[in-house]
């Protein structure tokens, strides 16, 4: 998976403190907590683990996720899962919809 050129975490790391400082009147500790989680997500700060391919021996380091419900990285999987579930539901509805003839028959039986 390729990393996008700019992530929300990059913006938070670059301007988060300045944003908090200029909005301290309404800024709540929960907002700060969410921004801190987003900035730390999938970085060495949260730790990680190494995976190695059993065939070629290629190693890759994966950093842990913050698992914060406001984090776009952590919620992208949940969002994709939700979209897939809605697509399945829509597919079922489309496959099980009555034909025009069935609709006409239903309409005629209710009106006559
Ligand atoms: Zn996260």
* Alpha-carbon span 18 to 35, nearest angstrom: 12
Q: Is residue 13 part of a domain?
A: yes
In a domain, 1, yes or no: no
The average pLDDT across 62-84 equals 90
In a domain, 45, yes or no: yes
Report the mean per-residue pLDDT for the chain. 90
- String of b and e for 39-62 (b: at least 16 CB within 10 Å)? bbbbeeeeeeeeeeeeeeeeeeee
- Span from the CA of 74 to the centroid of ligand 1 (angstroms): 4
Whether residue 100 lies inside any domain: the answer is yes
Query: What's the confidence (pLDDT) of residue 112?
Result: 66
User: Of the given ranges (14-23, 31-40, 48-57, 74-83), which has the lowest mean pLDDT?
Assistant: 74-83
Domain contains 3: no
38 SS3 class: helix
Pick the more confident residue, 105 or 14. 14
Q: How many domains does the chain contain in total?
A: 1
Task: Please check the confidence at residue 51 and state whether its pLDDT lies above 80.
Answer: yes
| Ligand 1 mean position, distance from CA 56 (Å) | 30
Question: Is 37 inside any structural domain?
Answer: yes
pTM for this predicted structure: 0.66
**Residue 92: domain span:** 8-111
Q: Is residue 38 part of a domain?
A: yes
CA of 88 to the centre of ligand 1 (A): 27
Does any domain span residue 2?
no
| C-alpha 42 – ligand 1 centre gap (Å) | 7
pLDDT of residue 101: 82
- Confidence at residue 1, expressed as pLDDT on a 0 to 100 scale: 63
The residues whose Cβ lies within 5 A of ligand 1, an ion, are 41, 65-66, 71, 73-74
- Whole-number Å distance, alpha carbon 8 to ligand 1 midpoint, is 11
């Amino acid at each position: 998976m390729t990393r996008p050129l700019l992530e929300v975490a990059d913006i938070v790391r670059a301007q988060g403190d300045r944003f908090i400082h200029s909005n301290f009147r309404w800024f709540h500790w929960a907002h700060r907590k969410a921004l801190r989680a987003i900035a730390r997500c999938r970085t060495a700060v949260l730790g990680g683990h190494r995976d190695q391919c059993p065939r070629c021996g290629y190693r890759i380091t994966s950093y842990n996720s913050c698992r914060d419900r406001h984090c776009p990285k952590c919620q992208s999987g949940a969002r994709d899962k939700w979209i897939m579930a809605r697509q399945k539901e829509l597919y079922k509805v489309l496959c099980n919809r009555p034909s025009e003839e069935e609709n006409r028959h239903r309409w005629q039986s209710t009106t006559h």
